[in-house]
Structure 1
Amino acid sequence: MLFNGIFLLIASVIAGTLSSVVGMASVILYPALLFVGLPPIMANVTITVGIIFSGTSAVLSSKRELKGQGSVTLHVMAFAVIGAIIGSIILLHSSNKSFQDVAPFVILLSGVLMLIPKKQSAYVHESVSKTASAIAAIAIVVVGIYVGYFGAGGGVLMAAILIRIIDAPYAICNAVRNVSTLTMNAVSALIFIFTTPISWSALVVLAVGLFIGGYIGPIIVRVIPSAIMKYSVAIGAIILAAFLAYQAYF
């Protein structure tokens, strides 16, 4: 019991840092919770609730990057929340098997998107076509659905979308992602708390570690060049996709 607590605390600090840097908390926490005996859906739901703590500290640590980004942030939040509600409802009617099978492909997509050169932002200029804006909105809703449904690697997918629609350094895109991810997870958590079993004992440990790690992440992002961050996230996403595919199919 003590070993599990220490193990989860260390994992959650690392996961909180990853969550606020690249949105990959579940890369650490999902297998960690499975290791201590939680079933897949309970593990995912517990992570979703726990990430609220890393999201809160990440937003507090990202106030510098969020300055002047209110309009973009509100747009992203609104569409992301719609998706998160849909995804959470889908999760409540899914099996553990279907839950595990879909993740590798979505995470692989996020990694590939990060590597594709970006065209003009969908939010920067008022003259942007309505079609481009609609596509951006739909993409964010889809990411929200995935985050509400699975979560693992969902932050990477959101980052991949945001760097393509926001004409700003990675640190700013990441700050907007942290706000939207916090909002999505808060909505999903509210649904899960009343409908799905949660490991409260694990959550207490995760909350402490995630809050600490979440505050550290944005500080790291400020000092690492955007290009390095982007390609590191992409490579990490592809490796994660391969790992989860191996677990699911072999």
Structure 2
Amino acid sequence: MDAGKFALLLLAGVGAGLTGAVAGLASLVSYPALLAAGLPPVSANMTNTVAMLGSTAGAAAGSQPELRGQARRLLPLCLITTVGGACGGLVLLVSSPDSFTLVVPWLIGGASVVLMAGPRLRRMAEHHEHRGIGPLTGIAAFLIGVYGGYFGAAAGVLMLALLTTVWSQALARTNAAKNVATGTANLIAAPVFAFTGKVFWPAAIAVCAGSVAGSWLGSVLVRYLPATPLRIAIGLGGLALAAVLAWQAYSG
């Protein structure tokens, strides 16, 4: 890889970390950048999964005030998403991604609509699961972890939609929890991918390094952004990504 491509992927990593920490759409930036750098789709997906560990680290470092006091319910959530991510990574290794990519746009689009309707849905379910992880939330988090380990684009939107619906707290705190929970979905998948030989390490290092800085910055910025416009912007971004992925999946 030449210096120009490395620099562009480093910049893409900054953008991915920033959008991931704020909106849960890191792969909207990083995955197309890896494809543009010449990586085949499966290699780009695995490389992206490894690189996004940097985004998780940066987001966690930048979100310490928001994460304070959330350990009791965040720990079981992370355990669930870690197991789900391991299952998703296994599915990717043993199957073709073609059939799943047909479903991905619908998952992302639905999650985006749920996210925008989050406060209303939370009022409808306000007697459920405000203090911990109940069975339905656990199942949903596991499935999001599977999705994150398998493909991952907009897994943060899915998780934010879930947590916004079942947890009553400031969006910045929920967003910080989302960053950690979706990041742990890659804790097993990423090391497994690293040993498949399909991870392109120069690209992974570039995107990872950029994402650490971008996600830290995004975690700081989200404290000062108004909750309702941010939630709507994230939802609209998710719908846009769903439309792009649908076009790619069904036009072929």
Instruction: Identify if the C-alpha distance between structure 1 residues 33 and 153 changes in structure 2 by more than 3 Å, giving closer, same or farther.
Output: same
* Unpaired stretches in structure 1, ≥5 consecutive residues: 127-131
- The alpha-carbon deviation at position 65 of structure 1 amounts to 0.4
User: Whole-Å Cα distance in 1 between the matches of residues 246 and 175 of structure 2?
Assistant: 26
Matches within 5 A, 1:189-200: 189-195=190-196, 197-200=198-201
- How many percent identity over aligned positions? 36
Matches within 5 A, 1:141-220: 141-195=142-196, 197-220=198-221
Q: What TM-score, normalized by structure 1, do the two folds share?
A: 0.93
CA contact (8 A) 1:55 1:178 kept: yes
Q: Which runs of 4+ in 1 moved over 3 A?
A: none
- After superposition, the Cα gap between the structure-2 partners of 1:232 and 1:195, relative to the gap in structure 1 and judged at 3 Å, is same
> What whole-Å deviation, never above 9, does each CA across 1:30-87 have from its counterpart, x for those lacking one?
1111111111111111111111111101101101001111111112112111211111
Question: 1-side partners of 2:141 and 2:240: how far apart?
Answer: 23
| CA RMSD in angstroms, aligned pairs only | 1.6
Q: Show the 5 A alignment for 1:100-179.
A: 100-116=101-117, 117-119=120-122, 120=126, 122-125=128-131, 133-179=134-180
- Name the structure 2 match of 1:245: 246
Structure 2 contact 86–186 (Cα < 8 Å) conserved: no
Unaligned 5+ runs, structure 2: none
Alpha carbons of structure 1 residues 146 and 224: separation in structure 2 relative to 1, 3 Å: same
User: Would you say the 8 A contact 1:92–1:196 is kept in 2?
Assistant: no
| Counterpart residue identity of residue 90, structure 1 | V
* Inter-partner Cα distance in structure 2 for 1:114 and 1:44: 25
Cα separation, 2, equivalents of 1:150 and 1:115: 23
CA distance in 2, matches of 1:121, 1:159: 19
Amino acid at match of 1:173: T
Task: State the secondary structure of the residue aligned to 2:38.
Answer: coil
Distance 1:121 1:38, change over 3 A: farther
Whole-angstrom CA distance in 2 between matches of 1:104 and 1:41: 18
Alpha-carbon contact 1:104-1:242 (below 8 Å) kept: yes
Counterpart-to-counterpart distance in 2, 1:100 and 1:189: 20
- CA 1:121–1:216 in 2, change beyond 3 Å: closer, same or farther? farther
TM-score (norm 2): 0.92
Task: Assess if the C-alpha contact under 8 Å between 2:6 and 2:202 holds in 1.
Answer: no
State the partner residue of 2:54: 53
- Do 1:111 and 1:156's aligned partners in 2 also have CA atoms closer than 8 Å? yes
